[in-house]
Homo-oligomer: A and B are copies of this chain.
Amino acid sequence: MKTRKILLNENEIPEKWYNIVADMPNKPLPPLNPGTLEPIGPEALAPLFPMELIKQEVTNEKWVDIPDEVRHLYSIWRPTPMFRAYGLEKALDTPAKIYYKYEGVSPSGSHKPNTALPQAYYSKQEGIKKITTETGAGQWGSALAFACNLFDIECEVYMVRLSYDHKPYRKIMMNTWGAKVLPSPSNATAVGRKILAQDPNTTGSLGIAISEAIEVAAASEDTKYALGSVLNHVKLHQTIIGQEAIKQMEKAGDMPDIVIAPFGGGSNFAGLAFPFLRLNFEEGKNIRCIASEPTSCPKLTRGVFRYDFGDTAGMTPLLPMYTLGHQFIPAPIHAGGLRYHGAGVIVSQLLRDNLIEARAHDNLEVFEAGVLFAKSEGIIPAPEATHGIATVIAEAKKCKEEGVSKTILFNLCGHGNFDMKAYEDYFAGNIVKHELSEEEIQASIALLDTPEIPE
């Protein structure tokens, strides 16, 4: 019988997270104070984040210890399984060997708890009583709700009102783990009240929700704020995915030629790819790592490398990133986790240095890929994950055309159990192709008055 699943036991959960910054030939440029345009230090982050996470945000150490308690709680769902995609290979009639790492086995159904758990842990260690955050579709909010519950920390989630009204089940999931979920804008914050006064019927936005969560965290000593992607410490925590994947590929007696993951803010991609990039750095391997983004939000493939704000309202430090401009509003695609204007700092530098690649896929193409995957492999993928699958299919077809067998590994970052509305829209013919014109992109970038970065 051919082996389909490659499993690890929980004593094989990695003991350290991998910090790629230590190995990068060009380190990321520093974040800047938007007023003075001077580099900012870690102390600027202290009102919002626990000290241990700030240390991880700026460390150049190559390995960061995973606390024993975190490892033990990781075992609720980790190590996650790796699958050989026999069904998909057959459906594509490809000589390529396709593997996927499946992160949908976590209680909240995605890779997000990989960082929510340590973030809640360090907060508890530092006496934090409450954590605030924002959420759009709800993947991040539910991961943080799950993690805070494990440490008996209060969790307050500002959920974009449009999602709050239209996706009640994610909200109830968060409630089940004890989190308080508020529709954003809310009356609980000054920012929220101001916006509601201007427009009581607003459907909200991720930018507003971030502002509310930050306002609440900044106002109290024992309340902090948590972010689910983009930042260095978030990427660091996610490297547990790729480290497990290397052990599993070794068990399978194989090693990928190509590593693929969906791309929103970068933590999903970083999680799988960075440990394989380490093998490139250390052992001179040539593993290609490809980030998959939507054509409706193509910061990696069509954005500009420049200092920009991390949020829509322009409240964060300036970060050196590939960006479409912080005022860019992506089309309302179902892959809510990929609707972010910029790429995290580390990934941006890696792309700038041609150490990674990027591909963009259209909304129709990704749903075709998702349904093909569901029918050939069984698991119905989250809309975010279908972007990675679309790249896998393209590479596997190329293998067939060229008559070569490559080994492809991708990150199936979550299941689609809470996204069936998206598939309903697809079957009803309501998913439309969406390609941005060059004018639209240039118009958004033209709004930037932030510092440029010389070649």
Chain A positions near chain B (C-beta within 8 angstroms): 1-5, 7, 9-11, 68, 71-72, 75-77, 105, 107, 109, 146, 149-150, 168-169, 172-173, 175-178, 371, 374-375, 377-380, 417-418, 420-421, 423-424, 427
Q: Which of A72, A76, A172 has the most CB of B within 10 A?
A: A172
Whole-angstrom distance between the Cβ of A385 and the nearest chain B Cβ: 14
Residues from chain B with Cβ under 8 Å of A172 in the complex: 420-421, 423-424, 427
* A7-B4 in contact (CB<8A): no
Q: Which of A68, A150, A374, A420 has the most CB of B within 10 A?
A: A420
Whole-angstrom distance between the Cβ of A65 and the nearest chain B Cβ: 14
Contact pick for A178, options B7, B76, B176, B375, CB 8 Å: B375
Whole-angstrom distance between the Cβ of A124 and the nearest chain B Cβ: 16
Residues from chain B with Cβ under 8 Å of A418 in the complex: 417
Residues from chain B with Cβ under 8 Å of A424 in the complex: 168-169, 172
* A149-B375 in contact (CB<8A): yes
Known contacts A3-B10, A4-B10, A72-B1; A420/B169 CB under 8 A: yes
Residues from chain B with Cβ under 8 Å of A420 in the complex: 168-169, 172-173, 176
* B1-A71 in contact (CB<8A): yes
Residue of B nearest to A107 (CB): B378
Task: Report the separation of the CA atoms of residues A251 and B424 in the bound assembly, to the nearest whole angstrom.
Answer: 43
Residues from chain B with Cβ under 8 Å of A2 in the complex: 72
Task: Report the separation of the CA atoms of residues A150 and B68 in the bound assembly, to the nearest whole angstrom.
Answer: 42
Residues from chain B with Cβ under 8 Å of A421 in the complex: 169, 172
Residue of B nearest to A170 (CB): B420
Residues from chain B with Cβ under 8 Å of A107 in the complex: 378-380
* B10-A1 in contact (CB<8A): yes
Task: Report the separation of the CA atoms of residues A374 and B5 in the bound assembly, to the nearest whole angstrom.
Answer: 27
* B5-A1 in contact (CB<8A): no
* B75-A5 in contact (CB<8A): yes
* B378-A146 in contact (CB<8A): yes
* A4-B380 in contact (CB<8A): no
Give me 10 A-to-B residue pairs in the complex whose CB atoms sit less than 8 angstroms apart, sorted by A's number.
Answer: A1-B10, A1-B72, A4-B72, A77-B378, A107-B378, A107-B380, A109-B417, A172-B421, A173-B420, A417-B417
Residues from chain B with Cβ under 8 Å of A377 in the complex: 76
Residue of B nearest to A378 (CB): B107
Residue of B nearest to A415 (CB): B417
Task: Report the separation of the CA atoms of residues A178 and B76 in the bound assembly, to the nearest whole angstrom.
Answer: 33
Task: Report the separation of the CA atoms of residues A109 and B109 in the bound assembly, to the nearest whole angstrom.
Answer: 12
Contact pick for A9, options B7, B75, B417, B427, CB 8 Å: B7
Task: Report the separation of the CA atoms of residues A149 and B378 in the bound assembly, to the nearest whole angstrom.
Answer: 9
Residues from chain B with Cβ under 8 Å of A68 in the complex: 1
Whole-angstrom distance between the Cβ of A154 and the nearest chain B Cβ: 14
Residue of B nearest to A84 (CB): B75
Task: Report the separation of the CA atoms of residues A374 and B177 in the bound assembly, to the nearest whole angstrom.
Answer: 7
Whole-angstrom distance between the Cβ of A179 and the nearest chain B Cβ: 11
Residues from chain B with Cβ under 8 Å of A75 in the complex: 1, 3-5
Task: Report the separation of the CA atoms of residues A4 and B380 in the bound assembly, to the nearest whole angstrom.
Answer: 27
Residue of B nearest to A13 (CB): B1
Whole-angstrom distance between the Cβ of A19 and the nearest chain B Cβ: 23
Task: Report the separation of the CA atoms of residues A258 and B318 in the bound assembly, to the nearest whole angstrom.
Answer: 60
Residue of B nearest to A420 (CB): B169
Residues from chain B with Cβ under 8 Å of A168 in the complex: 420, 424
* B10-A175 in contact (CB<8A): no
Task: Report the separation of the CA atoms of residues A146 and B378 in the bound assembly, to the nearest whole angstrom.
Answer: 7
Whole-angstrom distance between the Cβ of A34 and the nearest chain B Cβ: 40
Whole-angstrom distance between the Cβ of A98 and the nearest chain B Cβ: 15
Task: Report the separation of the CA atoms of residues A418 and B170 in the bound assembly, to the nearest whole angstrom.
Answer: 11
* B173-A380 in contact (CB<8A): yes
Given contacts A4-B76, A146-B378, 17 further A-B pairs with CB under 8 A are A1-B10, A1-B11, A1-B68, A2-B72, A3-B10, A7-B9, A76-B377, A77-B378, A105-B105, A107-B378, A149-B375, A150-B378, A168-B424, A169-B421, A169-B424, A177-B375, A417-B418
